[in-house]
Amino acid sequence: EDQVTQSPEALRLQEGESSSLNCSYTVSGLRGLFWYRQDPGKGPEFLFTLYSAGEEKEKERLKATLTKKESFLHITAPKPEDSATYLCAVSGAGNKLTFGGGTRVLVKP
Amino acid sequence: DGGITQSPKYLFRKEGQNVTLSCEQNLNHDAMYWYRQDPGQGLRLIYYSQIVNDFQKGDIAEGYSVSREKKESFPLTVTSAQKNPTAFYLCASSIDRTGELFFGEGSRLTVL
């Protein structure tokens, strides 16, 4: 059974204080690893897809990386508007999407 | 603008009542999904549909039912058989069955 574990559960940052979120996964036949951003009371918004180890994707202050066992979402010089819950998900051989529990990020000015 | 519309945003239900959550998309996507989100837990798949008039159970389908009579619409009924229905419900769609999903704003159901 595919599994996704995100850590930490919550992260408090000062504005400008860079940090990383971790997504550890076990999956049979990785088809893709996905990152989403979710604001309180809203639906998740797609950010990135990573397909193979060594791949990296960037968007503004966010950078996602992938190894064979985990993915990191690096937040560089975050701003208060980066406050959100970040969700990680994997798709395996069964083409089923498995989500992690998310990391709640709070960036204080 | 293209997107997914869920309604209602908030819904209160008495025990023993069935309720139906609406999901409409104008993205021309073939695949549609219903997820349930509980605090501190990952999204869990209730039902999904790849084409009109066809749908499959997800991981937690018991107590729920769906229909897919039109490409644009995928309503979810939470029946009285669902033992713990209070949750945040999310509808999503995708061009094909990839993990790049477009989500609606969600519907929060509270059972009184």
- Ranges in chain A, pLDDT < 50: none
CB contact under 8 A, B106 and A42: yes
Task: Please give the pLDDT value at position A1.
Answer: 86
Closest alpha carbon within chain B to A48 = B100
pLDDT at A39: 97
- B14: Cβ–Cβ under 8 A, 6 or more apart, which residues? B111, B112
> A44 burial class (0-12, 13-18, 19+ CB within 10 angstroms)?
buried
Decide: B68 and B54 in contact? Cβ < 8 Å.
yes
If you compute the radius of gyration of chain B from its CA atoms, what whole number of angstroms results? 13
Low-confidence stretches of chain B (pLDDT < 70) are 1
Query: Residue A43 and residue B100: Cβ atoms within 8 Å?
Result: no
Terminal C-alpha separation, chain B = 36
- Interchain contact, B97 vs A95, CB within 8 Å: yes
Closest chain B C-alpha to A78 CA, distance in angstroms: 23
